[in-house]
Amino acid sequence: MFNGAMINNFLMMFLAILICFTGCKTDKNKPDVDNISVSLEFNRLDKDIFSIKDSLTVSDLILLQTKYNSFFDIYCRNMLRLPAPNDSLQVVQLNGFKNDPDIKNVYSASDSIYTEGEVERIKSGLTTFFKHLKYYYPEKFTPEVVTFISGFNYNVVTTDSVMGIGLDMYLGGDSKFYPSLGFPKYMFRKFSKEYIVNDCIKGWFQSEYDVETVKKELLNQLIYEGKLLYFCDAMAPDLHDSVKIGYTGEQLKWCRENEKQVWSFFIEKKLLFSTNQKEYIRFIQDGNATQGFPEGAPGKTACYIGWQIIKAFMKNNNVTLQQLLNENDAQKILNQSGYKP
């Protein structure tokens, strides 16, 4: 006979085994990055410029040049378009930007959002990204991270040694600034802090794997986009799929429920090998909807399909992430994926 205590002990043991089993099952495909060391240098160019109450001096400029090296020159010349021939003129131009009333309001809004605690959250997310990057690419250099304000010109900028984040592009979907700047309304919700880490991951990928080298054909384009999204999977396993692809929950649900129909449409219309960008671009480009598709269909439906093809390819083939990203034969990837929505 079993008594109540024995039954309770048995149930507790069974529950512990079940938790252990399901935990191992959930995490078996995630790389263990806990012991990977990443030293993340994080600097605030925005604060270094705007926290100076009075106008910048040439001495201030020299300190900024010394601290930020070539990135400061890129910031001034390429992002702010201040092509000064010497320090004296550059400081005048930079002060013109810094003391512009609208820019000061932008910085104030940014500063209220990106408190010390929020910056620590971003650092944590980026550290997770760079740990995974080092797991897959141990030889890769961890860039310095620099935040800046550029007057809504850039969100993520990558150089050989720096990953720059334009905080004015992440003031929140309800920010008062975006409606007057000509951005499509569907983009507003992506101008929030939740997208920073994901945009940095995509920025790194795009700097290494240039889309301009990809054949202008729907199949090649959707495979490239699928690789990009799978790379986000690898670099940030806990990031929600809706953030990775930039969908709302309802849009992601629509794609999951209509995946077979979308794929059938591409096949029936013989679009996969189309090199006519006007014919296929609506399935690749971002947007609130896909022209010609039923209501509820978001933009980038081909990108979602490409993502599923890459997932199938990686599931059914013994290849590394690097081998996937270096494989440029889109037809081979499709054939070997066994993709059947």
**Residues 67 and 108 reside in one and the same domain:** yes
pLDDT value, residue 224: 98
pLDDT value, residue 144: 97
Task: Answer whether residue 76 is part of any domain.
Answer: yes
CB 43 within 8 A of CB 67: yes
Q: Tokens 């940030």, residue?
A: 236
Distance, in Å, from the CA atom of 24 to the CA atom of 64, rounded to the nearest integer, reads 49
Task: Answer whether residue 282 is part of any domain.
Answer: yes
Pick the last residue of a domain from 164, 199, 234: 199
Q: Tokens 């933009």, residue?
A: 299
Task: Answer whether residue 184 is part of any domain.
Answer: yes
**Residues 125 and 240 reside in one and the same domain:** no
pLDDT value, residue 18: 39
**Residues 101 and 176 reside in one and the same domain:** yes
* Domain range for 324: 211-337
Amino acid at residue number 14: F
What are the tens digits of pLDDT across the range 162-173? Answer: 999 999 999 999
**Residues 121 and 241 reside in one and the same domain:** no
pLDDT value, residue 11: 40
**Residues 217 and 190 reside in one and the same domain:** no
HSE of 278 in the Cβ direction (CA atoms, 13 Å)?
Answer: 0
**Residues 72 and 143 reside in one and the same domain:** yes
Distance, in Å, from the CA atom of 198 to the CA atom of 240, rounded to the nearest integer, reads 10
Cα–Cα–Cα angle for 135, 136, 137, nearest 5°?
Answer: 95
Helix (H, G, I), strand (E, B) or coil at 146: strand
Distance, in Å, from the CA atom of 146 to the CA atom of 140, rounded to the nearest integer, reads 18
**Residues 136 and 251 reside in one and the same domain:** no
Query: Which pair of tokens denotes residue 25?
Result: 């099952």
Task: Answer whether residue 130 is part of any domain.
Answer: yes
Task: Answer whether residue 132 is part of any domain.
Answer: yes
The stretches in the chain having pLDDT less than 50 are 1-28
pLDDT value, residue 29: 63
Pick the last residue of a domain from 199, 227, 246: 199
User: How, if at all, do strands 156-158 and 162-166 pair?
Assistant: antiparallel
Query: Which pair of tokens denotes residue 193?
Result: 């802090």
Distance, in Å, from the CA atom of 230 to the CA atom of 237, rounded to the nearest integer, reads 10
Distance, in Å, from the CA atom of 131 to the CA atom of 36, rounded to the nearest integer, reads 6
Would you mind telling me the total number of residues written for the chain in this entry? 341
Task: Answer whether residue 13 is part of any domain.
Answer: no
**Residues 194 and 227 reside in one and the same domain:** no
Domain count, the chain: 2
Q: For residue 262, which of 246, 249, 277, 280 has the smallest C-alpha distance?
A: 280
**Residues 222 and 188 reside in one and the same domain:** no
